């Protein structure tokens, strides 16, 4: 008997095993082009009784890296054996897989070349069991010939069962790859869950299609993240065109988007009467959320832009900054990122903008050449160092007071004669002229950060200062931590911080995108202890990205879907609650009972927002209907089985890889998906009918009319804790399984049925969104 290793130790294996997955099939082979292949392997399992097509997706590929549909791959009830062959190799292998429908821990045995390896762990229904790994020693293999794997079910067992996500992995790892010194996840560690986690953190989940998700999960993680995390104005892989309204190229910047929303375009799905206020009225605040959730844009660009302008280099529309300046600021920063500018160049552009000059009012700073006196404030002179570059001055070799009385004061002088331009009507614009008349004398260098900063105007000096600041020891130590903490990870340990700093220092030219991409494929980010807490913005934007299925919906209904949601938490975009120190922080949201409360409220009292299925003449004269079949895949028979839809929804809205999808979650979801009776109510009715000696079939439970039975004696079931004996009963399991087998009429020809089914999907989504797992996300390695 060979060694068997269940989930508990699989994590340990994964840590030191660098695995290049066995690949097969054309798409997979393409995706792994350039990587070391393990040689030919026959990649099919063969059912000795039936055709493989009976239970394997797309015919015959199961031993395949990143298999498109990870299951469940179910056998019919009569089969008790699954057999697969592969070409033996000249090195030791590991077999990794998940089981489905295995009822106890001795039901299904695993055999290699006829020898028993161990049993598959139990796994309820179509929820996969934990991943298990079996070692296939070299001595047991027959090189370059058929080697046989078998899964044998105990005779007499009943019910559907199967295996999925089957992978063959080399047992002896090569050295783990690194990127800027950060350890990169292996192909085995890079999967759909990992892709979702990156998108969750850096792209508000995005609008990625399942097929694209699979492609990225199959790709080299470094290459995949390069495709995912960009600052380009469009990223159709992240956010493809959907529905009948495509945003034109001119609408892809914030300035262009504002113009477009305010335009008279006949095809824009927004009522014309609503458009005027997008430009500079209260609806301006609803522009950016639309940019984020609209199809055909780039949600990663907006996510990074949001962090840059609301956290890292925050400006605030409640101060002197106006809409025009804010729009210019946002586009300026994100176009600089898209153009690949070094980070200090991006930061310098931001620092020299009209928005920042108005925010901190150093547009009033001037040097009087007659009296040789400085007039102005030191606000931004301090914060450009602290907030933009992470320099507190604590490690100034000349002492901390030197930072106060030399660096900050001289930076204030470097910021003199920044003239924010006005339009013909006297309104401040986003244009800036860097004057020389009231700038500190160009002949005199300014000693800042222990360097002499020269220049004839503020632009020249700040650009030079930025080049110095980015290499300052405090910036090298703090800025990378600010970036990662700000965008991706709330659990930075000392070890992680050290590695992050080392990685940043290793970049010869600092580039924000390259840096966060490196972290996004690192084991640091995907480690199980890595946690990202969701702000109110994160939560609403991510869930609405997943909810809105086309631009008619996203553009028309954005107000009620997004900003009205996070406004319940007293937050607003471009009005950061900590002013220049940034908007609501993840830990603040997580510690706030009120933020949890409003999220819960959205799922219950305000449930209709996400359950809405249609409207007539709402999108500039057009009607709209929510059609979940646009994204939910049907089963092999073309129907929408509740069990499959529940799993799909969980995966779409949460990124835990079904880790927390337990029996209770499943049961509640299935009840909400299949009926207008929740699980507690169904159980109470069932118990009441039992006590009254009435039939308790699922049909009877669902059709039992109001008032027929007094449920007051069963309030204990309705109000919270379901008795353990009931949960553990076979009747409970049968009931939930029956719910799972129910077909959803998402594609019914009957409009009422179809709407009802789509509404119940919204009902199930509401349930998912009020669970703890929507308020934070974590790594899973």
Q: Which of residues 761-780 bind another protein (CB under 8 A)?
A: 763, 766-767, 770-773, 775-776, 778
For residue 397, the minimal CB distance to another protein (Å) is: 18
For residue 377, the minimal CB distance to another protein (Å) is: 4
CA nearest neighbour of 747 among 675, 626, 639: 639
Q: x/- contact string, 386-425, with another protein (CB under 8 A)?
A: x-----x-x-----x---xx--xx----------------
Is residue 288 within 8 A of residue 306, CB to CB? The reply is yes
**DSSP secondary structure letter of residue 136:** E
First to last CA, the chain: 28
Paired residues of 428 in beta bridges: 422
For residue 376, the minimal CB distance to another protein (Å) is: 5
Q: x/- contact string, 262-301, with another protein (CB under 8 A)?
A: ----------------------------------------
Q: Kindly list the distances between the CA atom of residue 51 and the CA atoms of 45, 48, 56, 83, 156, in Å, as whole numbers in the listed order.
A: 10, 8, 9, 12, 22
For residue 745, the minimal CB distance to another protein (Å) is: 17
By CB under 8 A, residue 146 contacts another protein: no
Of 80, 431, 559, 601, which lies in the binding site for another protein, with binding defined by CB under 8 A?
A: 601
Is residue 74 within 8 A of residue 160, CB to CB? The reply is yes
> Which is nearer to another protein, 95 or 458 (by Cβ)?
458
CA nearest neighbour of 308 among 336, 266, 280, 281: 336
> Which is nearer to another protein, 128 or 599 (by Cβ)?
599
Q: Report residue 59 CA to chain centroid gap.
A: 32
- Determine the interface stretch with another protein among 87-95, 418-426, 499-507, 591-599 (rule: CB under 8 A): 591-599
Positions 561 through 590 that interact with another protein (CB under 8 A): 569-570, 577-579, 581, 584, 587-590
Of 68, 75, 197, 382, which lies in the binding site for another protein, with binding defined by CB under 8 A?
A: 382
Of 60, 85, 265, 361, which lies in the binding site for another protein, with binding defined by CB under 8 A?
A: 361
> Which is nearer to another protein, 89 or 366 (by Cβ)?
366
CA 127/CA 123 separation, integer angstroms: 7
By CB under 8 A, residue 668 contacts another protein: yes
For residue 703, the minimal CB distance to another protein (Å) is: 11
> Which is nearer to another protein, 597 or 623 (by Cβ)?
597
- Determine the interface stretch with another protein among 419-427, 541-549, 645-653, 668-676 (rule: CB under 8 A): 668-676
> Which is nearer to another protein, 42 or 776 (by Cβ)?
776
| Number of residues in contact with another protein under rule CB under 8 A | 84
Is residue 7 within 8 A of residue 659, CB to CB? The reply is no
CA 762/CA 743 separation, integer angstroms: 16
By CB under 8 A, residue 371 contacts another protein: no
Is residue 200 within 8 A of residue 777, CB to CB? The reply is yes
**DSSP secondary structure letter of residue 74:** E
For residue 578, the minimal CB distance to another protein (Å) is: 8
By CB under 8 A, residue 596 contacts another protein: yes
By CB under 8 A, residue 123 contacts another protein: no
By CB under 8 A, residue 73 contacts another protein: no
By CB under 8 A, residue 706 contacts another protein: yes
Q: Kindly list the distances between the CA atom of residue 412 and the CA atoms of 391, 405, 442, 505, in Å, as whole numbers in the listed order.
A: 15, 11, 15, 28
For residue 767, the minimal CB distance to another protein (Å) is: 6
**DSSP secondary structure letter of residue 370:** T
Of 2, 111, 600, 648, which lies in the binding site for another protein, with binding defined by CB under 8 A?
A: 600
Long-range contacts of 365-370 (CB under 8 A, 24+ apart): 365/412, 365/413, 365/415, 365/416, 365/417, 365/418, 366/416, 366/417, 366/438, 367/413, 367/416, 367/417, 367/438, 367/439, 367/440, 367/441, 368/438, 369/437, 369/438, 369/441
Positions 499 through 558 that interact with another protein (CB under 8 A): 531, 533
By CB under 8 A, residue 662 contacts another protein: yes
Angle, CA 27 vertex, CA 25 and CA 28 arms, to 5°: 65
Looking only at Cα atoms, what is the longest distance across the chain?
A: 101
For residue 188, the minimal CB distance to another protein (Å) is: 24
- The tokens for 141 are 């293999």
Positions 476 through 495 that interact with another protein (CB under 8 A): 478, 481, 491
By CB under 8 A, residue 608 contacts another protein: yes
For residue 593, the minimal CB distance to another protein (Å) is: 3
Long-range contacts of 151-154 (CB under 8 A, 24+ apart): 151/81, 151/82, 151/83, 151/108, 151/109, 151/110, 151/111, 151/120, 152/80, 152/81, 152/108, 152/109, 152/111, 153/79, 153/80, 153/81, 153/107, 153/108, 154/80, 154/106, 154/107, 154/108, 154/109
By CB under 8 A, residue 605 contacts another protein: yes
By CB under 8 A, residue 595 contacts another protein: yes
Signed CA dihedral, 502, 508, 512, 517: sign only: negative
By CB under 8 A, residue 726 contacts another protein: no
- Determine the interface stretch with another protein among 224-232, 297-305, 600-608, 643-651 (rule: CB under 8 A): 600-608
């Amino acid at each position: 008997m060979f060694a068997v290793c269940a989930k508990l130790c699989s994590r340990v294996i994964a840590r030191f095993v660098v695995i290049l997955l066995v690949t097969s099939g054309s798409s997979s082979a393409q995706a792994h082009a350039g990587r070391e292949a393990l040689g030919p392997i026959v990649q099919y399992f063969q059912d000795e009784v039936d055709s493989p097509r009976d239970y394997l997706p797309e015919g015959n590929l199961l031993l395949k890296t990143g298999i498109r549909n990870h299951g469940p791959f179910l056998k019919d009830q009569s089969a008790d054996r699954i057999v697969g062959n592969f070409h033996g190799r000249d090195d030791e292998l590991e077999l990794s897989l998940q089981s489905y429908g295995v009822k106890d821990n001795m039901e299904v045995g695993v055999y290699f070349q006829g020898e028993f390896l161990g049993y598959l762990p139990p796994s309820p229904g179509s929820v996969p069991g934990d991943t298990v790994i079996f070692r296939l020693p070299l001595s047991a293999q027959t090189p370059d010939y058929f080697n046989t794997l078998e899964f044998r079910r105990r005779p007499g067992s009943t019910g559907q069962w199967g295996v999925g996500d089957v992978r063959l992995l080399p047992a002896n790892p090569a050295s783990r790859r690194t990127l800027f010194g950060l350890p990169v996840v292996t192909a085995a560690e890079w999967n759909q869950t990992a892709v979702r986690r990156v998108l969750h953190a850096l792209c508000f989940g995005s609008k990625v299609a399942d097929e694209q998700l699979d492609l990225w999960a199959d790709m080299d993680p470094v290459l995949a993240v390069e495709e995912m995390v960009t600052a380009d104005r469009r990223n159709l892989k992240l956010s493809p065109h959907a529905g009948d309204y495509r945003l034109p190229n001119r609408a892809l910047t914030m300035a262009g988007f504002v113009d477009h929303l305010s335009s008279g375009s006949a095809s824009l799905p927004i009522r014309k009467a609503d458009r005027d206020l997008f430009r500079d009225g209260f609806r301006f605040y609803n522009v950016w959320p639309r940019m984020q959730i609209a199809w055909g844009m780039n949600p990663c660009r907006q996510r990074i832009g949001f962090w840059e302008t609301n956290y890292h280099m925050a400006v605030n529309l409640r101060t002197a900054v106006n809409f025009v300046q804010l729009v210019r600021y946002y586009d300026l920063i994100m176009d600089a990122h898209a153009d690949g500018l070094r980070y200090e160049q991006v930061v310098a552009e931001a620092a020299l903008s009209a928005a920042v000059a108005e925010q901190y009012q150093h547009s009033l700073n001037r040097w009087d050449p007659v009296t040789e006196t400085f007039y102005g404030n030191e606000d931004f002179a301090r914060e450009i160092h602290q907030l933009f570059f992470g320099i507190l001055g604590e490690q100034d070799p000349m002492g901390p007071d030197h930072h106060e009385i030399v660096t900050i004061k001289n930076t204030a002088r470097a910021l003199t004669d920044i003239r924010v331009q006005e339009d013909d009507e006297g309104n401040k614009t986003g244009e800036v002229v860097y004057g020389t008349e009231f700038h500190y004398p160009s002949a005199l260098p300014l000693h800042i950060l222990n360097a002499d900063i020269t220049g004839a105007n503020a632009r020249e000096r700040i650009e030079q200062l930025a080049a110095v600041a980015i290499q300052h020891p405090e910036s090298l130590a703090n800025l990378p931590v600010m970036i990662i903490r700000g965008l991706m990870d709330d659990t930075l340990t000392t070890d992680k911080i050290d590695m992050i700093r080392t990685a940043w220092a290793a970049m010869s030219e600092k580039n924000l995108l390259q840096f966060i991409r490196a972290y996004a494929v690192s084991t640091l980010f995907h480690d199980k202890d890595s946690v990202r807490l969701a702000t109110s913005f994160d939560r609403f934007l991510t869930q609405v990205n997943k909810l809105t299925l086309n631009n008619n919906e996203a553009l028309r209904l954005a107000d009620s879907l997004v900003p009205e949601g996070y406004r319940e938490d007293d937050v607003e975009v471009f009005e950061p609650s900590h002013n220049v120190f940034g908007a609501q922080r993840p830990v603040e949201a997580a510690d706030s009972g009120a933020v949890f409360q409003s999220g819960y409220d959205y799922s219950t009292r305000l449930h209709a927002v996400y359950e809405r299925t249609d409207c007539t003449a709402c999108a500039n004269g057009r009607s709209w209907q929510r059609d979940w079949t646009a994204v939910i895949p049907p089963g092999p028979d073309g129907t929408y089985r509740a069990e499959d839809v529940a799993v799909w929804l969980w995966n779409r809205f949460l990124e835990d890889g079904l880790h927390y999808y337990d029996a209770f979650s499943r049961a509640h979801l299935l009840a909400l998906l299949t009926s207008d009776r929740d699980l507690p109510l169904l159980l109470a009715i069932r118990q009441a009918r039992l006590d009254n000696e009435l039939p308790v079939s699922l049909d009877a439970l669902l059709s039992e009319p109001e008032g027929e039975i007094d449920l007051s004696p069963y309030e204990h079931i309705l109000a919270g804790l379901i008795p353990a004996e009931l949960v553990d009963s076979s009747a409970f399991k049968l009931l939930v399984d029956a719910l799972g087998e129910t077909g959803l009429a998402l594609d019914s020809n009957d409009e009422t049925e179809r709407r009802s089914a789509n509404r119940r999907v919204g009902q199930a989504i509401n349930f998912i969104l009020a669970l703890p797992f929507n308020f934070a996300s974590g790594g899973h390695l």
